[in-house]
Structure 1
């Protein structure tokens, strides 16, 4: 019995002597002392043992130590070899902080302390170990920073700690990001081909740029050449010389791979010949004959035959070398199943990207169409009912934008100021439109040339008046905070909230105008005057009053459009000029005096402009030119627009 107990005790003692150092350590300082030399003078290869023990120790202060070690904030006291954090007390001394307890331990002279300075490779290794702690840190900001750090420098050793931090992640959004990043890491660094292929398949539904970067990394190829197609190589494609690869590129590849001798440039050939001139001859030929390429080549060949220089590579030599080699793009990833999965996933993603680009282009076109609709609808009403070519319509847009700016100076709350600015801009520009119609336009009915010149003069005068009041500098019309940012569907499809708001505003105005024209007495009278003013007058309708109200209504709508446009465009005295041409094009293409025609015209012009800009993104001026040419051709075949108006306009 005694022998049995003694044997057990001896076995326990023997086993304890072989436990890792971290089991013997009672605190962080003790653990570091077992790796004293590695901590003091860390190397990229030796630091791994220290980091493994630190991670496995479970000490809560380990993360803080790693951060300080990585940041060169750990010091060694030369007298006893203990490690501390220090702060400069300003009197040639350091205040010491215990790395295990965080308690202040007094001061020490600076010359008694040595700073630990890990090199870049060691700091990167420490950072990798530190991420394991940061991924589960109670502070979400630190967890997010750790995830961002992994995303920036993805490596195989980050996969296991990231997966371990997913299950207990309390934040749902960050948990999704961790899962997505883990799939990206598994696609590139999974332990088995099956695991990597499964991760690649899981990425195929995401069109993000970083996902495509991961797949493209897997599909990285190296261009090479060989006398025959190498067995077991994961070949992406065999290159045809003269088609995918020029002859000069192919031969240079052979030279780079040391499969063929390098070509000798003419300058080098001339210098070599000059070095071998003897008695007025070189290679047995007179120097006086060295004025042609053929003569220099003959002399050089003679020197090569005597073994004095490297032989010249002839065209036949190049051709023979190209014919006896195959040229290949070989995947750096040796497993064909993995590259096939990555190629299939990337093809699927690229297809989704194309559809997403089409959807994004459609959204851009609708957004621009809504802006053109708001800018043109007032002009369509006045032009359709009155036949007045109002060149000052853009200035009513400008007046509305400046009204919004003035309101924001009085009401600093951007939401409240916007609510006030929209109806106020309508009132201001409605009054200005009525005044313009009463003072100028009513005297110029049925005189289109005089009307055009008069309204152009008013346009110039209003621009100058705005410059005198507000100056020539652009003024800010700030949108409310809830309109900041954009609605993002994916990395390809997104639209700003301001443009969404303008689109909704255009729909509201479409509904409002249709209600006024179809359901109110004013609308009935407007339509009556539009279709047959003489008959409307005989029925007791005052065409003069209707013209005044219609012109004021069109001007008021332009003012509201100015507030909407000013939220994302510059507010200047010339801003109306940027939209007057598009407004007239919208009205003419859509059909004069018709709400639905204006909507159709705005949709056509907005969509056409975005398509042309997409096809030729580097030249927006060309896009405008092509669009105008298209509209000129369009009105040749349909002069009354997409939706032709019946009645007086049809007769005109």
Structure 2
């Protein structure tokens, strides 16, 4: 029944005087057995219009299931059996299988589209829409419109969209095409662009004057839009002017026609100017000795008497205006989305920089210590998350355990570093710098000895594995969104600690005036130790967050230590708002430079460092200058 139904649809959709299938196959046997994409199209259309058995034959031919017997009969192969394509009787003769190439199969698929669009099988209807999307013709538009009603809402939506796209391409009514273009307002799909772009193709022409019905894209001026040579070449190609010889070609032609010391009745001695050579050449052309060519004066006159323009291939100005407006809107939306995507990338990088630098800003603000081992605390936090995942299989649970544990581990490591090294080097910044740099190298080597040199995976939970975005361009990974939220949480936590707790009050007092704070009963050494532990602990949490999207290696912290220092210096050392502003500046600047040079991230970082060096020359204390003991430093 389905075969009969499809055959009836083919008969309705193809207005061709039909012959029976056997007659068509017999008449076109040679082309069917050795098809060429350039010539087989009419044969396929004739088969499609031949009535009963046409659909089955075309489907089998497209699937490479047609065989030919020695006496020239076509058979449809089904597994290990074969039946005659015309009579349906079993065929036991040896068969030579037909193997049409992809181009021929595409034409067969297009011919089957009208019937397949209304096939009861949804998969076949989807396949028909796919075939139409690849290779549609004007003849398919009526068939598609007749099959718009579909019980499957998804397929119905695809049919409606494809119908509007084919209307833009093939409908003879310009108003209908304009309406179809306007229906895609706000749609930036690649299929819409593919339908609109051909409407704006142009041809460059030269003419004595433009016709009233010419759909002109723009007029061209000789000298600015066109060179004189290009403009004259257009005139020659349009048979509006004789060709212009080059000086070398002219001299060669004159030399070839030299006779008795003269060329065209002009003595050779007088051929010392372009005008004289032009006169000699015209005399030769008049005598038929050389082909006619334009002189300089003729070229100038021809260029002055003709107009040049880019003319749309589409004659309807209303249609090209609609297409151009739609594409301009699409480009605007695309650029707006690219800008939004760039801002999200910059915000993501800024949140990472802030999270990595906040601990460094705390320790420097209170103690004035440049901790070169800060990056290794980030690395320790990442490895802590990796170890926790080795014991807890559930990724969400392991992450909830790893975050506080990383804080504890790195905070304790920071306190140990302070007690053993930092406290003994107070007010000696160079020795502190060298000592923490040595600790940094030692921690890296320790990590290599324990975990090896290969990168270790720190897997994010499934709910952090996706992305958030809109449109076709704007997208940001869920992990980076989570890091941004985490950075905001730590900003709020730090502000709460410094503004609402006794420890925060002590930290601010030691930052402003350690001597006065000590006289008020505050122990600066204890405050410095706790502050160093707090900054190191935050670095450990940053390590867990960074390890979710970066490879966990012993060099992980080195990738962020430079950005952390730049963030603190640019923002203003020891100031949380300065750190936030510095992170925003670093993130935006680096992403902005990467847009100008997307293939070279190292170059972007180099330019960023140079910009920061220049920035510090004009604002050495950073965006938010520090108040207190380092304000004059």
- TM-score tier, shorter chain, comes to 0.7 to 0.9
Q: Pick one of 442, 457, 461 that aligns with 2:442.
A: 461
Counterpart for residue 48 of structure 2: 51
Q: Pick one of 79, 96, 100 that aligns with 2:82.
A: 96
Shift of 1:486: 3.2
Q: Given the alignment of the two structures, is residue 36 of structure 1 paired with residue 36 of structure 2, yes or no?
A: no
CA–CA distance in 2 between the matches of 1:392 and 1:96? Answer: 78
Whether the 8 Å CA contact 1:39–1:47 is kept in 2: the answer is no
Shift of 1:388: 0.7
Counterpart for residue 108 of structure 1: 92
Q: Secondary structure of the residue that 2:311 maps to in structure 1?
A: strand
Counterpart for residue 352 of structure 2: 371
Deviates more, 1:156-165 or 1:446-455: 156-165
Q: Secondary structure of the residue that 1:349 maps to in structure 2?
A: helix
- Cα RMSD for the two superposed structures: 3.9
Q: Pick one of 117, 127, 133 that aligns with 1:151.
A: 133
Q: Secondary structure of the residue that 1:307 maps to in structure 2?
A: coil
Whether the 8 Å CA contact 1:225–1:325 is kept in 2: the answer is yes
Q: Given the alignment of the two structures, is residue 336 of structure 1 paired with residue 317 of structure 2, yes or no?
A: yes
Q: Secondary structure of the residue that 2:574 maps to in structure 1?
A: coil
Whether the 8 Å CA contact 1:85–1:99 is kept in 2: the answer is no
Aligned residues: 612
Whether the 8 Å CA contact 2:378–2:542 is kept in 1: the answer is yes
Counterpart for residue 62 of structure 2: 70
Q: Secondary structure of the residue that 1:203 maps to in structure 2?
A: coil
Deviates more, 1:552-561 or 1:288-297: 288-297
Counterpart for residue 13 of structure 1: none
Counterpart for residue 326 of structure 2: 345
Q: Pick one of 546, 553, 571 that aligns with 1:590.
A: 571
Deviates more, 1:235-244 or 1:478-487: 478-487
Q: 1:589 to 1:154 in 2, by over 3 A?
A: farther
* 1:419-463 deviation digits (Å, cap 9, x = unpaired): 444334333322322222222111111111111122222223333
Counterpart for residue 91 of structure 1: none
Whether the 8 Å CA contact 1:136–1:169 is kept in 2: the answer is no
Shift of 1:106: 6.6
Q: 1:121 to 1:575 in 2, by over 3 A?
A: closer
CA–CA distance in 2 between the matches of 1:540 and 1:189? Answer: 88
Shift of 1:330: 0.9
TM-score normalised over the length of structure 2: 0.83
Deviates more, 1:314-323 or 1:225-234: 314-323
Q: 1:304 to 1:151 in 2, by over 3 A?
A: same
TM-score normalised over the length of structure 1: 0.81
Q: Secondary structure of the residue that 1:328 maps to in structure 2?
A: strand
Q: Given the alignment of the two structures, is residue 168 of structure 1 paired with residue 153 of structure 2, yes or no?
A: no
Q: Secondary structure of the residue that 1:506 maps to in structure 2?
A: helix
Counterpart for residue 449 of structure 1: 430
Counterpart for residue 11 of structure 1: none
Q: Given the alignment of the two structures, is residue 206 of structure 1 paired with residue 187 of structure 2, yes or no?
A: yes
Q: Given the alignment of the two structures, is residue 261 of structure 1 paired with residue 242 of structure 2, yes or no?
A: yes
Counterpart for residue 357 of structure 1: 338
* 1:262-290 deviation digits (Å, cap 9, x = unpaired): 34356655765676577999878999999
Whether the 8 Å CA contact 2:10–2:114 is kept in 1: the answer is no
Q: Pick one of 397, 413, 421 that aligns with 1:432.
A: 413
Counterpart for residue 396 of structure 1: 377
Q: Given the alignment of the two structures, is residue 527 of structure 1 paired with residue 508 of structure 2, yes or no?
A: yes
Q: Secondary structure of the residue that 2:370 maps to in structure 1?
A: coil
Q: Given the alignment of the two structures, is residue 85 of structure 1 paired with residue 80 of structure 2, yes or no?
A: no
Q: 1:205 to 1:457 in 2, by over 3 A?
A: same
Whether the 8 Å CA contact 2:110–2:131 is kept in 1: the answer is no
Shift of 1:261: 3.0
Q: Secondary structure of the residue that 2:42 maps to in structure 1?
A: coil
* 1:463-494 deviation digits (Å, cap 9, x = unpaired): 34444444555444444444445333112322
Deviates more, 1:316-325 or 1:77-86: 77-86
CA–CA distance in 1 between the matches of 2:123 and 2:415? Answer: 59
The runs of 5 or more residues in structure 1 that have no matched partner are 1-18, 24-29, 88-93
The correspondence of residues 273-284 of structure 1 with structure 2, limited to 5 A, is: none
